[in-house]
Structure 1
Amino acid sequence: MPKKKRKSKKQKEEEELLEIEEEDTRITKEQFDADQLQKDKIDEKNVKVKDSDALKVAESVLDVETKTTLFNLRKRKIIDYMTGVISTGKEANVYHGYAPDGSELAIKIYRTSTNIFKGLQIYIIGDPRFARIKRDQRSFVYAWAKKEFKNLSRAYTAKVTVPKPITCVKDVVVMEFIGKKELPYPLMKDEKLKKPLKTYKEVLDNLELLYHEAGLVHADLSEYNMIYTPKVYFIDISQAVLLDHPYAEIFLFRDIKNITRYFRSLKVDVIEAEELFEKLTGEPLTDRVKAFEF
């Protein structure tokens, strides 16, 4: 009986891609019709954007390896299907999807085609999780996605109000969707707060839990990285650093100044930034932290 000819790696990859494109129609062109999704959301909120630009940006992260990852997540019954794009950014796009049990998901896909390493080096200095990664773009992005998942997991375990982390594979982070019926709740910056003082105290409670229980500093906290439901959720936590990071105190003071500035603009009687820093850390603010400029 003649021996069966072994398939080359290239043939296997081509067959896997063909399987994704032909059989898994729920995670291909139809479900990634970001243009139509944007139109639906825009019609509902009466906002105008360039639909063709939104489509181009939304599809830019879906290379062959990413589609393969999504396909495998569906085979593992983590994702059932995806409905389209929620938001686009320079580092990642976020998509809405459903799990097999019908629960809504947020699926964050980092770009492997854009060089984001240079601007993020300050967040990984001294972080042991980055000590041995290869310095190529794809390896860095995979490690960065894993860092976000680990940070989310630490925060969630510490009872910080963040989206529940579900899994991370390569450049894809799957988490709880903070919204309803495929529409995300707004960012704090886009919403009029019903009770600003109450919300301010809630932000401080989460900041304290993040610092003391999770052992993390958000490092980019502002009204742009909090969802308002009116419950407060901290999001975009990939750049968060451990407390022994050389810039942890500097990042913390920046976060505090951002929070203080925002709530002061809403006429809330805020704690002064330096006082809040000392209250949180138990240490006075140093000249080094005060003088640092980004």
Structure 2
Amino acid sequence: MNTACILIWAMLLDAALGEPNWAWKRVPHPAVLMGRAIGWAEKRLNKGGRRRASGVFLILALVLGAWGLGRFVSALGWLPEMLLVAALLAQRALVDHVRAVGDALRLSLGDGRMMVARIVSRDTKAMDQSAVARSAIESGAENLSDGIIAPAFWYLIGGLPGVLIYKIVNTGDSMIGYKNERYAAFGWAAARLDDVLNLIPARLTALLIAATHSGLHGWRAIRADAKLHRSPNAGWPESAMARAINAAIAGPRAYDGKMRDFPFVNPHGRRDLGPQDIDACCTALWRSWGAFLAIVIVISLF
């Protein structure tokens, strides 16, 4: 079975079943194991005067380890490979988590704040309804790229070693890729390599969102807003999602008690947002996923 065919079945399995919690209660999720390995290494290597060099060494070691593990599992046959790829995708879980914010927001603002705090790192205690909705929509758009399109893309390019390398680097970036005193030097390699690996998938995600909604005539505006984002990649799917549902997202938000004055994405869109806009985002996530699945099916035929 070729790589594209395996990916089709992995995407369908993930979409149908989501996260099998009964399984992860018995054995750790691959992403959890990656996180444990990175956390263990960080405590031992992130000290002294050569933190950047230590961080580069760690990422090289993780990449080589992921490549070797990918080669080993793929040699076991298509079924173990397909199951591992399905575990590394997160479309169903992503939509469920984003939709849960909208469902909670329908109950009360406090419930909405509590649920959105599970998927974003910003301060949520003072958020109004629109801020909660914006946060959920931004998380959905960004994670469509990081959690589904990017790993699937790198699986098509590099097989199981490719997707494992992407996931270990992406996990490393999420854990040590911060520009603070502790991680600025040590996490430099993880953050930069993650930027490189997401360069194409982020733009592909924006294309999928735009093409399945208003079309590509707004691509120039999507590109312009994406350049305003603090991340070289996250702005692309966020800008496309904002235009797909006609919403202004991003904008000012607080981290660790300090307000950050970030620009709005699609500033002329609606700013009074609510649960219905989160529902629209979830629909857009499935449309974009379906468009990508169709592309993979076409690839499999050739």
* Structure in which a larger fraction of residues adopt helix: 2
- Greater length-normalized contact order (CA 8 Å, ≥ 6 residues apart): 2
The structure having more radius of gyration, on CA atoms, is 1
Scaled by the length of structure 1, what TM-score is found?
0.26
Higher strand share: 1
